[in-house]
Amino acid sequence: MAAYYNEFDPYAAQWLRNLIEAGHIAPGVVDERSIEDVHPSDLRGFAQCHFFAGIGVWSLALRRAGWPDDRPVWTGSCPCQPFSAAGKGAGFVDERHLWPAWHHLIKEHGPPVVFGEQVASQAGLLWIDRVQTDLEAEGYAFGAVDICSAGVGSANGRQRLYLVADTDGQRLPRREKQDVRTQRSRQQASRRCDAGRCGEDALPSSIAVVGADGACRPLEPGTVPLVAGYPTIVERLRAYGNAINAEAATQFIAAYIET
């Protein structure tokens, strides 16, 4: 098998199996255990390992960027709730802070390339600092960038931090760690990624929902609002909400390949 997918949510895990069967993502197996229960030996023989796999968007983005299914790579989008501004802000003490479990597997296997993603909040930047420190200690060169999904054609902002760690590249100067914060400040001052704005620049395939406060909020293209009696709609919206933006990830991977 080319790929290993680790996804704790049963609904998303079955969605992954459907996508594999349909040929939309790399062929492989889906493991529904918590990442904390995965042993390094369980990952032997897999070219690609996708953790917190959701609905397989990392695999889709790799293919779109021209990355062969049999080229080794690990990906993961650790739970963002501990570091989201909309959450309780528990951060590193939150039980959903699962980077240590993923770090352990990376340390034991040493994959040549690791791609990841996290929410672009102030706490998310602290998370990136921790990840960079841990991976550089294992000999990885590390880079991260703050990407706005609207900048790649989406109808919403969805600001996210994308990272790559590479065992073959040269280690970047430590000052590069501060560039993520600097870049984000500049983007916030100039970007037009207002997720509450609807108008002629919104994609026609998107759906806008007007909240009680009168603000117009686009949903991801292809999703639908919550309607009583609509089967599995809650699970679908949760899966979409946890997924990364495919085009943003594709552009990030393509930039890595180019450089």
Comparing 130-144, 160-174, 204-218, the range with the smallest average pLDDT is 204-218
Instruction: Establish if 226 belongs to a structural domain.
Output: no
User: Quick check: 145 and 101 in contact, CB under 8 A?
Assistant: no
| Residue 70's CATH number | 3.40.50.150
Residue 202: inside a domain, yes or no? Answer: no
Better-scored residue on pLDDT, 225 or 186: 225
The answer, yes or no, to whether residue 205 has pLDDT greater than 80, is no
Q: Across 64-78, 89-103, 111-125, 213-227, which has the greatest mean pLDDT?
A: 64-78
Residue 214 domain flag: no
Look up the domain containing 154 and give its range.
3-195+245-258
Strand partners of residue 134? none
Instruction: Name the E strands within 77-177.
Output: 113-119, 141-148, 159-166
Of 29-38, 112-121, 192-201, 213-222, the range with the highest mean pLDDT is 29-38
Let me know if residue 148 belongs to a domain.
Answer: yes
pLDDT of residue 25 exceeding 50 = yes
Query: Which range, 64-73, 111-120, 231-240, has the best average confidence (pLDDT)?
Result: 64-73
228 falls within a domain: no
Question: How does pLDDT run across 93-135, given as a tens digit for each residue?
Answer: 556 578 999 999 999 999 999 999 988 777 778 889 999 999 9
Q: Tell me how far apart the alpha carbons of residues 91 and 257 are, in angstroms, rounded to a whole number.
A: 32
In DSSP notation, 50-79 reads EES-TTSHHHHHHHHTT--TTS-EEEE---
CA 26 vs CA 7, 71, 74, 158, 162: distances in Å: 15, 11, 13, 26, 21
Reported confidence tier of residue 191, pLDDT bands at 50, 70, 90: very low
* pLDDT 10s digits, 84-98: 555 565 555 556 578
**Is 87 within a domain?**
yes
Summarised one tens digit per residue, pLDDT across range 146-185 is: 887 666 666 666 678 999 999 975 544 444 444 444 444 4
Q: Is the pLDDT score of 190 beyond 90?
A: no
Structural domain includes residue 100: yes
With bands split at pLDDT 50, 70 and 90, how would you rate the model's confidence at 79?
A: confident
Confirm if 164 and 113 have CB atoms less than 8 A apart. yes
Number of domains, the chain: 1
- Whether the per-residue pLDDT at 7 is higher than 60: the answer is yes
Return the pLDDT at 187: 43
Mean pLDDT of the chain: 76
- Amino acid identity of residue 251, one-letter, is Q
pLDDT at 156: 61
Residue 7 lies in a domain: yes
